[in-house]
Every structure is written in structure tokens, then in C-alpha cells.
């Protein structure tokens, strides 16, 4: 399962349905081919309320594409993803917030080293809107499928982002902030990888990928055509996405490089909101430098939008101390 691949950035889509899920029609072979075509290194298989599909993936986990075993748990008051569960492990879905049992089910996933992801928190259909407190969850799926679409069932990603961004300030202040991730929620051909999460993992393995997602050493990309790097430095020290930077009261300098977003817009966000905005050239490649301090900014994170306003990439935070 582990790749001899070393510490680097890997791309993956952790919310994928096969024909085992209602409304989906992808075979495992199609999923593997599409994931490779989309430039992905890993996926998670997340059927609705069943692990019956886990057995399909056994032989494939040895290849270049790492497959995280998971489940989408569609409760009466919101959907969540269990990622990194045991082969064949079933997570119960027959409850809602008022039953008071969610923590018990989250525990079962945590006990086997798995992650619990609040899925598409602002999906507009019955039971699709996420009503649980976020505290027990490890990650929030801030970006689900197309950033915006005219489909009435499509999650409102703009609302999810606004909510997550607002909660970050409280979270950083309290010492525990919940990272964002993005997944396609693919049901049909052509959807895998839009968007996906890019993680800095110690190696290409299930455990290392889940560690990186849990820590927020990750950013979300609309496609593999988009790439970015973000570091913040203060004197001799530097930190990347998902890390903390001890600034020792020195000036902190954010450096961002972006590729693949022609005429896009970069915005920098802190606990004071959107604090800086700049445009990318028509070629789509650009670098941004911005100075701040721990006094001024409790954290920094970046959004990159296409010329039409749709999201191209968003990062987790670098916390300044």
C-alpha cells in the first residue's frame, strides 16, 4: 500500500461513488482510468451507507493509485464521509442530530485511525444540509463538485466557504481549527477530480495521506491544470500550508506562486477578513509577495479565482505566532 515515493505533494479526490451507490454508474475500472486522467495519485471510495464495494478495490491498492476505503454516511440531518475505515466496516446512518448518537459513530471511525469529514454542508436538498456541530469532525468539505452550477441539488460552496472562513478565526484563537478539503462527489463520467485536494504527505500511502488531510497540510484545486505553492517566512524561519510559524515579532512575508489561472484573481485572507487582492496575468502564472506580522494576522490563507469568479484554488491556513 505504501509507495516508495517520499515527502511531496499528492493529488486526490476523497468522495467518489461507483455503481454501488444510487444514482451513480461508474465501474472501478472507469474510476481508476478517470482518476489517472485527472492527474490524481489517490482516491477514496465512498458509497452511500455501504462498504459492499470495498472488496472491489483490494487488488488495486497496490498500484500507482492509492485507494482509501470509506463510506458516505447519509443521516437525516447531514452527510458525512468516513475515510480510512477497515475493509467491510459499516458505519450506521439511521439517526439525526436530535438522537444524540453522532459522537459514538465518529468514535468508531477515529478508533481505526480514520477521518470524519462534514460533507457538502450547504447542500440544498432534504437531509443534505449539515446540521451537526463541527467540533467532532476532522475536516470540512468546503468545496463539493462544480464551484457553482445551475443544478438545484448542487451544494452551495460559496456558503460553505463563508462559514468555514468565519469559524477559522475562532478555531485558531482556541487552538484547534478544522481544515478544509474539496472533492468531486463524482457519480458520473467526467466528474472525478473536479475539485480535488492536494496534500503534502510523507509518502503515497493511505496513512500518510490521511495524516496530511487531518493536519491541513493541503489545498484544494479545481483541476490538475492549477498549481500553487505558499510559504510564509519570518527571518530564518519558514512555514507552509497547515503549519505554524514562530515569527518572534519579526515581519512575516507571504510568498505565493500560482500556475494555470489565466487572468485570475488572488485574495489573501486573515482573521480580519479579505485583506489583499491582486490579479494574475493572461498567461495565468504569477507570484505574489505580501508582508504582515503575527500582531496583525493570526493566520493567512489564499483563494485564487478564475476570471469568471469561480474558484480555481483555495488553501488551508498558515498560523502566525
DSSP string, 42-89: EEEEEEET--TTHHHHGGGGGSSSEEEEEEEEEETTEEEEEESPPTT-
Q: How many residues bind Zn ion (CB under 5 A)?
A: 3
> Are 128 and 94 in contact, with CB atoms under 8 Å apart?
no
The site string for Zn ion over 59-78 (x = CB under 5 A, - otherwise) reads -------------x------
The piece of 129-137, 164-172, 179-187, 198-206 that touches Zn ion (CB under 5 A) is 179-187
Burial of 281 (0-12, 13-18, 19+ CB in 10 A): exposed
Cβ proximity of 309 and 147 under 8 Å: no
Quick one: 189 or 249, whose CB is closer to Zn ion? 189
Q: Is there binding between residue 185 and Zn ion (CB under 5 A)?
A: yes
Phi then psi for residue 109, to 5 deg, are -75, -45
Q: Which of residues 105-134 bind Zn ion (CB under 5 A)?
A: none
Look-up of cell digits 500500500: 1
Stretch that binds Zn ion, among 57-65, 109-117, 180-188, 262-270 (CB under 5 A): 180-188
The interface mask with Zn ion, positions 131-170, x = CB under 5 A, is ----------------------------------------
| Cell reading at 239 | 512555514
Q: Name the residue nearer to Zn ion (CB basis): 164 or 290.
A: 164
Site string for Zn ion, 186-225 (x = CB under 5 A): ----------------------------------------
Scan for cell 517566512, then name that residue. 233
Q: Binder to Zn ion among 79, 105, 196, 217 (CB under 5 A)? A: 79
Residues facing 258 on adjacent strands = 228, 286
Grid cell locating 242: 497547515
Q: Which is nearer to Zn ion, 19 or 253 (CB)?
A: 19
Site residues, Zn ion (CB under 5 A): 72, 79, 185
Amino acid at each position: 500500500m505504501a509507495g516508495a515515493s517520499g515527502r511531496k505533494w499528492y493529488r486526490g479526490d476523497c468522495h467518489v461513488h461507483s455503481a454501488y451507490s444510487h444514482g451513480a454508474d461508474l465501474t472501478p475500472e472507469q474510476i481508476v482510468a478517470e482518476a489517472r486522467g485527472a492527474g490524481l495519485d489517490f482516491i477514496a471510495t465512498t458509497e452511500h451507507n455501504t462498504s459492499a464495494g470495498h472488496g472491489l478495490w483490494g487488488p488495486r491498492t497496490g498500484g500507482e493509485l492509492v485507494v482509501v476505503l470509506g463510506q458516505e454516511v447519509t443521516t437525516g440531518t447531514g452527510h458525512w464521509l468516513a475515510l480510512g475505515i477497515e475493509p467491510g466496516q459499516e458505519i450506521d446512518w439511521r439517526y439525526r442530530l436530535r438522537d444524540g448518537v453522532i459522537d459514538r459513530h465518529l468514535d468508531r471511525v477515529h478508533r481505526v485511525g480514520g477521518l470524519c469529514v462534514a460533507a457538502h454542508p450547504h447542500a440544498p436538498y432534504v437531509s443534505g444540509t449539515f446540521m451537526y456541530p463541527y467540533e467532532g469532525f476532522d475536516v470540512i468539505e468546503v468545496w463539493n463538485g462544480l464551484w457553482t452550477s445551475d443544478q438545484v441539488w448542487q451544494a452551495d460552496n460559496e456558503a460553505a466557504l463563508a462559514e468555514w472562513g468565519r469559524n477559522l478565526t475562532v478555531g485558531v484563537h482556541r487552538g484547534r481549527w478544522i481544515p478544509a478539503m474539496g472533492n468531486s462527489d463524482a457519480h458520473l463520467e467526467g466528474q472525478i477530480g473536479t475539485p480535488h485536494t492536494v496534500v503534502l504527505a510523507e509518502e503515497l500511502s493511505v496513512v500518510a495521506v490521511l495524516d496530511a488531510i487531518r493536519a491541513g497540510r493541503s489545498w484544494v484545486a479545481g483541476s490538475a491544470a492549477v498549481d500553487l505553492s505558499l510559504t510564509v517566512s519570518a527571518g530564518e524561519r519558514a512555514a507552509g500550508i497547515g503549519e505554524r510559524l514562530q515569527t518572534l515579532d519579526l515581519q512575516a512575508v507571504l510568498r505565493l506562486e500560482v500556475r494555470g489561472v489565466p487572468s485570475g484573481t488572488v485574495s489573501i485572507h486573515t482573521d480580519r477578513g479579505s485583506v489583499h487582492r491582486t490579479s494574475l496575468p493572461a498567461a495565468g502564472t504569477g507570484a505574489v509577495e505580501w508582508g504582515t506580522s503575527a500582531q496583525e494576522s493570526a493566520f493567512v490563507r489564499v483563494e485564487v479565482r478564475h476570471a469568471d469568479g469561480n474558484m480555481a484554488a483555495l488553501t488551508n491556513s498558515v498560523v502566525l505566532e
